[in-house]
Chain A
Amino acid sequence: MPVSVDFLFESIMLTLWDETRELPLTRLQAINKKMSILRTQDRKVYFDFKFYELQAMKYHPVSKDEVTEASILSVTAFSEHQSVSMMSNRRFLIRPGLNLEYVPFQDEKDAAFGKEEEERISGKAAPYSENLTIKVSVIEGRKTVNVDMKDLKVMIYLEEMMRIFDFIIYVPEPLLEEDREAQIKMGEVVEYREPTSLVFTVMANDSYFCIPSGTEYAIILKCKKRYTC
């Protein structure tokens, strides 16, 4: 039976926790998100995600239960003539139950910056546009992922990215078993560990990738039109 579902969200925040260090690993924040899922009668599955803005943050401990935040990835509506600051410096207290509690700025200048940040995050600062679209299709085990981004600013903290990747590929075995059982129930049994095809394409328009050097200056790669992998 074909299934089609559409969702519309104002803002979504996803925090990944590094339980080995009792710290937030990263926080992904998507604004004005549209999500569509379509499953056809012949079991072709399509996912379509559209965002107005996407931010990824990293965290540094400043005390036992307090962290500061810094942006590592930013996809926004702003062009290279209207850039967005990646210096957040917002502080959070780590509360029981792995909750982050925002600590308001004390300084007036920081408070003004914080207000500007909140307005931007709430999506009030600019009209809606689709700055990030992700299309995923699964057809007979063949997966195709297309990511299209506009005005991307990235700080390449390699160690942070590798840790996030470790987090993503680490799936507890019980979840894998549950997924396999669900597949069997749906009659989609495939040979165990059968190699499948994956085509992953990223297109980033007017994008800047900064490689930190630990000094005042950094190496920056600028791609004007298209970046695919």
Chain B
Amino acid sequence: MIEKKLEELYTYKLTMQRTEMMVASEKDFTSSLPLAELTKRILVHPFNLSFSLKTEIYRDQASSKMALFRKDNIFIDQVAIRIASRDLILLLESNFYLKQNLVSYKKLVPFTDVESDYKSKLNQRKQLRDDYFARWKIEQMGHDVNMIALGIQLVNFFNL
């Protein structure tokens, strides 16, 4: 018999109010120029977004059953996107730049490699963690997704 007590394992929430996406000069952004005076192009007009991901569990010590329940809630306000062809190029360049940086990050020596003694102990700890979860029969019992989107408007500009 699964315990009646419901425990919250973890919850992630993201709420972004009056969020907008824009393109501006990086130099202006990092300078002391007041941000309200940035020369900018708005890509996504202010919108509201909220997202929550909640995972709860029932645990039954006797039968070693752990039942997982997930509840996702997503709310997206009306979104207006105005994007020019040069913005698409900038988005691609940003994506490429991020990937390049991530490649260099992955080449860095991990901190765990500094001391081999620590590395072996961390492996032991990982084993202990795996052993802990191995004795539970984890079963996902439910996954509710509620999504509300109030509309989207997409305008694309091409420079001719």
Chain B binds chain A: yes
Residues of chain A at the chain B interface (Cβ within 8 Å): 19-21, 71, 80-87, 153, 155, 157-159, 162-163, 166-167, 170, 172-173, 176, 192-193, 195, 197-199, 201, 208, 210-229
Q: B132: CB under 8 A from chain A?
A: yes
Q: B153: CB under 8 A from chain A?
A: no
Asked whether A87 and B114 contact (CB < 8 A) given A216-B25, A222-B22, A224-B18, the answer is no
* C-alpha spacing A225/B49, complex, angstroms: 12
* C-alpha spacing A225/B111, complex, angstroms: 37
* C-alpha spacing A173/B115, complex, angstroms: 11
Q: B3: CB under 8 A from chain A?
A: no
Q: B147: CB under 8 A from chain A?
A: no
* Chain B residue total in the interface (Cβ 8 A): 62
Q: Quick check: A195 and B23 within 8 Å, CB to CB?
A: no
In the complex, which residues of chain A have a beta carbon less than 8 angstroms from the beta carbon of B110? 20, 166
Q: Quick check: A212 and B8 within 8 Å, CB to CB?
A: no
* C-alpha spacing A81/B33, complex, angstroms: 8
* C-alpha spacing A158/B101, complex, angstroms: 8
Q: Quick check: B46 and A192 within 8 Å, CB to CB?
A: no
In the complex, which residues of chain A have a beta carbon less than 8 angstroms from the beta carbon of B121? 173
Q: Quick check: A197 and B10 within 8 Å, CB to CB?
A: yes
**Cβ-neighbour of B90 out of A80, A215, A225, A228 (below 8 A):** A215
**Measured between C-beta atoms, what is the minimum distance from B47 to chain A in Å?**
11
Q: Which of B8-58 contact A (CB under 8 A)?
A: 8-27, 29-36, 38, 40, 43, 46, 57
**Cβ-neighbour of B101 out of A71, A86, A159 (below 8 A):** A159
The residue on B at minimum CB distance from A208 is B35
Q: B122: CB under 8 A from chain A?
A: yes
Q: Quick check: A85 and B32 within 8 Å, CB to CB?
A: yes
Asked whether A220 and B13 contact (CB < 8 A) given A20-B113, A80-B35, A213-B94, the answer is no
In the complex, which residues of chain A have a beta carbon less than 8 angstroms from the beta carbon of B122? 173
In the complex, which residues of chain A have a beta carbon less than 8 angstroms from the beta carbon of B15? 226-228
In the complex, which residues of chain B have a beta carbon less than 8 angstroms from the beta carbon of A155? 30
A87, A197, A198, A222: most-surrounded residue (chain B CB, <10 A): A222
Asked whether A19 and B114 contact (CB < 8 A) given A80-B36, A226-B15, the answer is yes
Q: B154: CB under 8 A from chain A?
A: no
**Cβ-neighbour of A195 out of B9, B26, B102 (below 8 A):** B9
* C-alpha spacing A216/B109, complex, angstroms: 31
Q: Quick check: A87 and B30 within 8 Å, CB to CB?
A: yes
Asked whether A153 and B27 contact (CB < 8 A) given A195-B57, A220-B22, A227-B15, the answer is no
Q: B149: CB under 8 A from chain A?
A: no
9 tightest A-B contacts by CB?
A224-B18, A159-B105, A173-B121, A214-B97, A213-B94, A20-B109, A85-B32, A218-B26, A80-B35
Q: Quick check: B9 and A228 within 8 Å, CB to CB?
A: no
**Cβ-neighbour of A229 out of B12, B57, B105 (below 8 A):** B12
* C-alpha spacing A198/B10, complex, angstroms: 6
Q: Quick check: B32 and A218 within 8 Å, CB to CB?
A: no
In the complex, which residues of chain A have a beta carbon less than 8 angstroms from the beta carbon of B90? 213, 215, 217, 219
